[in-house]
Structure 1
Amino acid sequence: MDSTVDAYGRAHWLLSPRRPRSHLDEPLDVSVVTVDAGRSHETRLTGVRLRSPRLGVLPFGGFVLAASRSRRGQEQVQVFDALGRPTGSFRVGDGIEELLVDEAGDLWIGYFDEGICGDDELSRPGLRHWSSDGDPLWQYRPGPGHSPIYQSYALNVDTRAVWACPYQDFPLLEIRHGRVVRVRENPVRGAGGFAVYGDRGVFLGPYGDHDRIVDCLITPEAVRPVGYGRLVRPDGRELRRRRLVCRRPLIYVQEKPYLGWGVLDIREF
């Protein structure tokens, strides 16, 4: 159903005993398989009411499931404890594009255009920060040098900062302490993911070129490309269709059929 890598580098797969229908007539029991340092264990989640949910993992046990689409009044986020028991539910708005949980257990959610441009006020900011209890902690607001978000394209969540490159102008937004502290011009358009380390940024998959790497210098004012390359599989073959999770210097890559995760660590090259 989904797979992710948490803030501590543990990989998780959300598995269903059957293919979900267009709607769930009754709650479903699913499993989360966690792999940590080569060891795996399974947690059974009971009473799942969501079809095709996104998976988030809380730092000290527990899980978050979120449906991408949601009508008004429909609670589309479910929270489960470390034993897989449901502990709460709430709503965060229609059109979830990205869901990442930080080390504190808070949710960072980026939205896609149908949610942002629709009539749902919760998703209209384009990027929001929620507690795992459903409390709104922060929402993006345009300011000097940065315009409204029309779609969340790439999101990187770290311990001290959150970075985003949203559509339409793809600025590199640096978010700390509940506010956008810096906005940098960025000529790399449409990247699916990126990693940041010191004054360096590496962007993966700009428009029309899903395995292209753009190596950049990050100055106080702008992102400046300094080199280009290709991300390939360990055996040298091209990447297939993939999903990405980005956490500071790391880009986690999972190719279709989404069975395993690879990692690009920009500190190593």
Structure 2
Amino acid sequence: MTPVNDIPLTPYAQLPAAYRDRHIAHSTVDAFGRAHWLLTAEAHPWDGPPYEAVVVTVGDGHPYETHLSAVRPHGVRFDALADGGFIVAATRSHRDEEPPQAQVFDALGRPSWTFRLGDAIEHLLADEDGTLWVGYFDEGIFGDDLSAPGLRQWSGTGDPLWEFKRGPGVEDIADCYALNVGAHSVWVCPYQRFPLIEVRDGRTARIWDNPVRGASGFAVCGDRVVFYDPSGDDRHQLVDCRLGESAVRPVTRTRLVRPDGGALRGRRRVVCRGPRIYVQVKPFTAWTLLDITADS
């Protein structure tokens, strides 16, 4: 593979300074490119009482707030829904627990639906239609019937719509390492062998053998796929690949760096949407972007 220069991230969205004194429970970028921060007055214990929260949204002109009342889940993932509402879900869950794990809020921040999605949520991403794609890590896959498929699609009211099933050329998912929810396809790169799998129209559409192991995220554009943060010594490496008939072919390796060219350091979040990888590093007040359509 031919080496190339480091690739700087592009600044994308920042939490306004007026909110920096609040606790960031979680943050994400939705299917329409809007950045959201779920904020509380302070950190809450995993088994604490219901609490008040505010979602700060950046991306539709001026930042705006949505106040959520009587939020129950703790230790959460969250995302925005197509109708302007939000879903907040605890990452860990037990059968028959009360209250249910996931809570949906309407566009005015009022609680509506509650339901259970399964234990050990690694990824929770809503698509443009408002359905939910949930990827699970190993403790849920091997310990909870709802999580056992490794990847599931749910309606915004908690109805199961699709689940991953083992088939020719693909093993069971043992851990949903990386998930990309695009406009037309959903892509997953799971442990153990890390195949690249495309899900389209409610079915497993294609599977590629993949030599890139352990990526935490990836972007897809045409026959190009760029993996971020594979396993190895360099936590911020990029592997630029091309899709063949049956296998992923690495072409170049480089490093992803901050917009100013400095090294990425500290804990980070990654959200993958089609050709885009959004990266956020601690203290999680800003999102940056790698968009592979810019140089495809």
Q: TM-score, normalised by structure 1?
A: 0.97
Q: Which of 262, 272, 289 is the equivalent residue of 1:237? A: 262
Q: Is the CA contact (8 Å cut-off) linking 1:116 and 1:151 kept in structure 2?
A: yes
Q: Which residue of 2 aligns with 1:151?
A: 175
What is the SS of the residue equivalent to 1:188? coil
Q: Is the CA contact (8 Å cut-off) linking 1:244 and 1:252 kept in structure 2?
A: yes
In the alignment, structure 1 segments of 5+ residues that lack a partner are none
Q: Which residue of 2 aligns with 1:222?
A: 247
Q: Which residue of 2 aligns with 1:117?
A: 142
- RMSD value over aligned CA atoms? 0.9
Which aligned segments of 4 or more residues in structure 1 are displaced greater than 6 angstroms?
none
User: Matched residues in 1 for 2:48 and 2:269: separation?
Assistant: 26
User: Matched residues in 2 for 1:95 and 1:230: separation?
Assistant: 30
- For 1:39-86, what per-residue CA distance to the aligned partner results, in whole angstroms no more than 9, with x for missing partners? 200110001111121111102210000101001012100000000000
User: Is it true that 1:35 corresponds to 2:58 in the alignment?
Assistant: yes
User: Matched residues in 2 for 1:38 and 1:187: separation?
Assistant: 42
Q: Is the CA contact (8 Å cut-off) linking 1:197 and 1:248 kept in structure 2?
A: yes
Matches within 5 A, 1:1-269: 1-25=25-49, 27-74=50-97, 75-118=100-143, 120-208=144-232, 209-240=234-265, 241-269=267-295
Q: What amino acid does structure 1 have at the position aligned with 2:178?
A: A
Q: Percent identity?
A: 57
Q: What amino acid does structure 2 have at the position aligned with 1:22?
A: W
Q: Is the CA contact (8 Å cut-off) linking 1:112 and 1:150 kept in structure 2?
A: yes
Q: Is the CA contact (8 Å cut-off) linking 1:24 and 1:50 kept in structure 2?
A: no
| Higher RCO by CA contacts (8 Å cutoff, separation 6 or greater) | 2
- For 1:141-183, what per-residue CA distance to the aligned partner results, in whole angstroms no more than 9, with x for missing partners? 0101100000000000012100000000100000011110111
Q: Is the CA contact (8 Å cut-off) linking 2:196 and 2:210 kept in structure 1?
A: yes
User: Matched residues in 2 for 1:159 and 1:248: separation?
Assistant: 7
Q: What amino acid does structure 1 have at the position aligned with 2:289?
A: V
Q: Which residue of 1 aligns with 2:7?
A: none
1:37 Cα deviation from its structure 2 partner: 4.5
Q: Is the CA contact (8 Å cut-off) linking 1:64 and 1:78 kept in structure 2?
A: yes
User: Matched residues in 1 for 2:61 and 2:178: separation?
Assistant: 28
1:19 Cα deviation from its structure 2 partner: 1.3
User: Matched residues in 1 for 2:67 and 2:117: separation?
Assistant: 24
How many residues are treated as equivalent by the alignment? 267
Q: Is the CA contact (8 Å cut-off) linking 2:182 and 2:274 kept in structure 1?
A: yes
Q: What amino acid does structure 2 have at the position aligned with 1:28?
A: Y
Q: TM-score, normalised by structure 2?
A: 0.89
Q: Which moved more, 1:31-40 or 1:72-81?
A: 31-40
Q: Is the CA contact (8 Å cut-off) linking 2:46 and 2:75 kept in structure 1?
A: no
In the alignment, structure 2 segments of 5+ residues that lack a partner are 1-24
What is the SS of the residue equivalent to 2:172? coil
Q: What amino acid does structure 1 have at the position aligned with 2:225?
A: G
